[in-house]
Amino acid sequence: MATLVVPENVSYVDDAQALQKACQGWGTDEKAIISILGHRNAAQRKQIRLAYSELFQEDLVKRLESELTGDFEKAVYRWVLDPEDRDAVLANVAIRKSGDYHVIVEIACVLSSEELLVVRRAYHDRYKHSLEEDLAAHTTGDIRKVLVGLVTAFRYEGDEINTRLANSEADILHDAIKDKAFNHEEVIRILTTRSRAQLMATFNRYRDDHGSSITKDLLDEPADEFKTVLRTAIRCINDHKKYYEKILRNAIKKVGTDEDALTRVTVTRAEKDLNHIKEIYYKKNSVALDQAVAMDTSGDYKAFLLALLGKEE
């Protein structure tokens, strides 16, 4: 359910030459950049970067960084990278912004085990440290335990579940919340090691046995960083599309748009499930996401996001 509209026949050499032409002279041709990069998938963008490098002995990403500015530059930069490299950059930025843990949780809990492993390799290559090493260096205590546990997890991806285990672990989670022992080692163990299918069975059992969802019970407690991380992890595992819809809603409704969040969700989901997220957004807000984005953004940034949303100006 991607939103990205991609042409069937693409010449990577022609694209590279057109991009080089767009960056030449006194002014940058932003429309040309959007018309090309806003309609190429990850594999195509990689081939364009390679063709550009061979033709002009220059890094396309660095050239675009030097030509573009503001939110538009940030969006294009994150889009043109390989998906795993983009996630590595997002993770590093989040680590350096103290307390910005939701991006780390998204990467750890939305991606498949194989995808997460590829991101961790990309992080190695780019920063010459492991993701978990940098994360551990910038966190302490229970936050460190749960975040390092999430990013180093290699969850089983199958559908098999153990019903008896789901029942017992739903009770463990309920007792921990009731006793306000949110940082109990069993809570961390369950959330950082169980498969997605097993956790969803546990969360469903929790709701059936105790009359409310685990996220609602956590929300009823006074907020702090650790509980926020737990809630984010549970929501990403349970239904990441609903989670992303709320991120977009909050980004747009905020006084002064949260462009970082808007850009992040758009560029990371445009080739995956952004169409489904758009449907949820419309049901929740009675306005189309592309319409909301168009009203809340402007200029080349707006045009680029709308291209990724499958809606031209």
Binding region for Ca(2+): 25, 27, 67, 252, 254, 256, 294, 296-297
How many Å apart are CA 172 and CA 165, to the nearest integer? 10
Can you tell me which residue has the tokens 């939305």?
110
Token readout for 299 is 């200029």
Q: Which residue, 280, 312, 228, 313, is CA-closest to 5?
A: 312
Q: Which residue, 21, 9, 10, 11, is CA-closest to 56?
A: 21
Token readout for 145 is 């335990």
How many Å apart are CA 281 and CA 309, to the nearest integer? 13
Q: Which residue, 44, 46, 49, 67, is CA-closest to 59?
A: 49
Give the count of beta carbons closer than 10 Å to the beta carbon of residue 155: 20
How many Å apart are CA 107 and CA 132, to the nearest integer? 13
Q: How far is CA 218 from CA 115, 118, 308, in A?
A: 29, 32, 35
- Which residues participate in the annotated binding site? 25, 27, 67, 252, 254, 256, 294, 296-297
Planar angle of CA 3, 6, 10, nearest 5 degrees: 165
The answer to whether residues 142 and 183 touch, using CB atoms and an 8 Å cutoff, is yes
Token readout for 108 is 């750890």
